Structure 1
């Protein structure tokens, strides 16, 4: 028989049993919610889900902004053995309908702010039988009716291998797929990163710019704080602004600040006080590589060291990371304890140090696969190794440096060019806030590098100046042959640049 393990019980119930029920679990827009109160709401949501007919291992789609209701709904689904499917609530209803229809979810719980998308969503997902909204009566079931009782909120018997939750990932390709995770994956990710790298305690206050519907934000805002009985600071407003984040940081005093490189760059250029992040013991960055220039500017301005790393939806959180003891700007750091990494060539042979190759990773938090994506499963899940699609080199002393996505690399003049290297060089120029480099074929059908650049506030980008800047810093074949000045870059909701959109443009 399997040993019983329910992630909801681990994250929530045991804090009440161990006397931490009165501790603050969530701070959201000035309101405090204790662990006992979160448990009561979770039991009410679990009762509501069961009364609407949701059974173990059936799916319920969450179309929700970060909130206490989101936390309770996610935990309640785990509690009853059902499978919460986390989706991006800012997507148009028709796009959500495609994802939810693919998941075969029978029920939706949505933030009331997103209720306008429900008609289009349901049109695209006709198998949905019930829709619940978090306030008012804009859904088929109101939140008040849904949570009126806690009579049937008990735990379903699950184990670490039981189906847990699904996360939607499109990466930088734009093709949505659902990564399937187990109950035990949450514990595995916590033990590996939060325990070994951050050494989290119940005294910590977690604040994540990344939203909870993404793997990164889910661990930042739920798994890691709830695992130790700490406090999670939530903010439903999307997208956030530097001013809003600064206000929350100044008021709520987080000790751990989870962010993404593009937003750290925005904070570097925002008109906010230098002591805004004085309570933060470490910043954490993921989603895209953090340029060394952005790292240094943030540390110089705010006095906070940012630990850059790389993770994935498939592995749930960060598996390569800089650490408090060993931090090398411009790299993704070293393997997090509990994960193993390899760099391989196109035939799957291990590459020596300082040689480019594809990154493979394995660890206990790995997804079991993608829902109904046989071909992608076969190319991504290689036994217990996962092909990340990222290109890396490893230094002789074990640090990993990101050089781009396998499908982003450019072959120019017979040499491989890493967009990440060229972008990092451009960002070092004080007039450039963000940059994205893609390949473009000229009149002679020769592939050339083209740079899309976003100016820093109140500055102008001079392409001739950037040409000269790169001339002294990059080999000739790596230099962009053309510059496009733009107001922003297309990105995923987690901050990854969607270079395929620039190529198609």
Structure 2
């Protein structure tokens, strides 16, 4: 087996090759060079070993984005253990569920999430130790507690001699339509996403600095803020607080990043805000993932802020983006073409590959970074990981120019009059209306129990929604059967911690909100 530890690739080799003085990370209150961070990571690795963490054991991390979280991820991997960063937006019972599922004995938690962690530990009896980042140890009487400083000042150790295929990282899926599942990734997969998407699509350089709205617990975010910048000796900019347009605009002006990463809903929020039009003047490339970026958002952002957004699709199971537009050659409204090193194909409901264009089906991908399965989910793993191929669950169509367009999640497609309708197509039409800031289209039953499209719309600030005008706007630009039969105004759309729209929640809201006979 080939020896390889991702920490050596991301951190130590830069010090060996003379790049130790470069700035690795800038976070509120702390800036570290590669040499300084490498030293801290080795001490954290030693700290994990000192509290009994063994190679390949899981260490769960519920922490804000900062040097501590960065050091915990890298320190766990350096010790041979498996970091499991989890969403910081979960409740105590939700955290307890994944904590118990992972069988982790050690939990690292920031003060902001101490209350949730206390509830979680009561549901995860195997937890023996909790490492506290600014949190009060009195809140955890049933376990042994350690202050973060105990880990970060421990004796440094050399990275554990892992292999390319050794487990490096677990990432739990967001669980929007079912129970969260731990996708297990190997050390070599981290290098793979850097040398495919990071190098050959994003074109990241050593003089870049990266700012990501998506947090480190998210597959998209950990690539943006850790894997890609550290693969080339670039700088990452971390923000511990919950992102808002005002906060992110301030950080952009302060830090002047050259690469900016967000999700479509955040780009929409930026466009709805009053931040200055020159906010992103330092950014040479913006990136979007998580959900399809509507063409109208791409055009509006480029027109107002002067920055091109690369839209792509990735997944927790694939670790990062495998289908993407290219710099200077974006086809708005599509997710571009396969990233070098990956193959994609569209299959029909019988699993047969669709050779032609214009025919929708389910997207499958194969490449060097796919997980080797879900933790303790045998049947689900068999359905999703099919030999070399990963079943994405996304509905796609291949266009005549070779690009691919996302039609939504395979189970989000709906029928109107017996004909399939893509929610994203209707959403893109509604986003072209000047009164619409955000929108989600779902199915709701009419008085006969037949599903019809319904649009849930967040209006632009200061605008009032005219339901009939929006329906007619769709009728003018789409086939009549695709039009929403009703428009429901909402203050905000429910979203996951990673910014994806929670369509299952919206479906329930619409079902409750509409009276029988309200759909025309």
Q: Please tell me the TM-score bracket, short chain as reference.
A: over 0.9
SS in 1 for 2:19: coil
Counterpart CA distance in 2 for 1:356 and 1:29 is: 46
2:125 corresponds to 1:134: no
Shift in Å, 1:174: 4.3
**Contact between 2:6 and 2:190, CA under 8 Å: does it hold in 1?**
yes
2:324 corresponds to 1:324: no
Counterpart CA distance in 1 for 2:11 and 2:155 is: 16
Counterpart CA distance in 2 for 1:234 and 1:96 is: 23
- Identify the match of residue 427 of structure 2 among 418, 423, 426: 423
Counterpart CA distance in 2 for 1:170 and 1:88 is: 8
Counterpart CA distance in 1 for 2:2 and 2:507 is: 50
Shift in Å, 1:25: 0.4
Matches within 5 A, 1:342-357: 342-351=345-354, 352-357=356-361
Unaligned runs of 5+ in 2: 510-520
Counterpart CA distance in 1 for 2:418 and 2:89 is: 42
**Contact between 1:26 and 1:32, CA under 8 Å: does it hold in 2?**
yes
SS in 2 for 1:284: strand
**Contact between 1:135 and 1:144, CA under 8 Å: does it hold in 2?**
no
2:401 corresponds to 1:402: no
Shift in Å, 1:31: 3.4
Q: Please, which moves more after superposition, 134-143 or 250-259?
A: 134-143
Shift in Å, 1:136: 5.4
Counterpart CA distance in 1 for 2:56 and 2:29 is: 36
The CA RMSD measured in Å over matched residues stands at 1.1
SS in 1 for 2:126: coil
Shift in Å, 1:171: 4.9
Shift in Å, 1:192: 0.8
SS in 2 for 1:369: coil
Counterpart CA distance in 2 for 1:376 and 1:149 is: 41
- Identify the match of residue 154 of structure 2 among 149, 152, 166: 149
Counterpart CA distance in 2 for 1:31 and 1:77 is: 21
Counterpart CA distance in 1 for 2:245 and 2:372 is: 37
Aligned to 1:192: 196
Unaligned runs of 5+ in 1: none
**Contact between 1:358 and 1:389, CA under 8 Å: does it hold in 2?**
yes
Aligned to 2:100: 101
**Contact between 1:62 and 1:109, CA under 8 Å: does it hold in 2?**
yes
2:288 corresponds to 1:285: yes
Aligned to 1:57: 56
**Contact between 2:366 and 2:389, CA under 8 Å: does it hold in 1?**
yes
Shift in Å, 1:329: 0.4
2:211 corresponds to 1:207: yes
**Contact between 1:136 and 1:143, CA under 8 Å: does it hold in 2?**
no
**Contact between 2:95 and 2:117, CA under 8 Å: does it hold in 1?**
no
TM, length-normalised to structure 1: 0.98
**Contact between 2:246 and 2:275, CA under 8 Å: does it hold in 1?**
yes
**Contact between 1:40 and 1:150, CA under 8 Å: does it hold in 2?**
no
Aligned to 1:377: 381
Aligned to 2:514: none
**Contact between 1:393 and 1:402, CA under 8 Å: does it hold in 2?**
yes
**Contact between 2:394 and 2:409, CA under 8 Å: does it hold in 1?**
yes
SS in 2 for 1:370: coil
**Contact between 2:114 and 2:135, CA under 8 Å: does it hold in 1?**
no
SS in 2 for 1:47: helix
Counterpart CA distance in 1 for 2:24 and 2:2 is: 27
SS in 2 for 1:216: helix
Counterpart CA distance in 2 for 1:148 and 1:207 is: 28
SS in 1 for 2:265: helix
Deviations 1:425-452 (A, max 9, x none): 1111111111111111111122111110
Counterpart CA distance in 2 for 1:4 and 1:344 is: 37
Deviations 1:377-398 (A, max 9, x none): 1111111101100011101221
Counterpart CA distance in 2 for 1:454 and 1:4 is: 52
Shift in Å, 1:96: 0.4
Counterpart CA distance in 2 for 1:188 and 1:252 is: 28
Shift in Å, 1:137: 4.5
TM, length-normalised to structure 2: 0.95
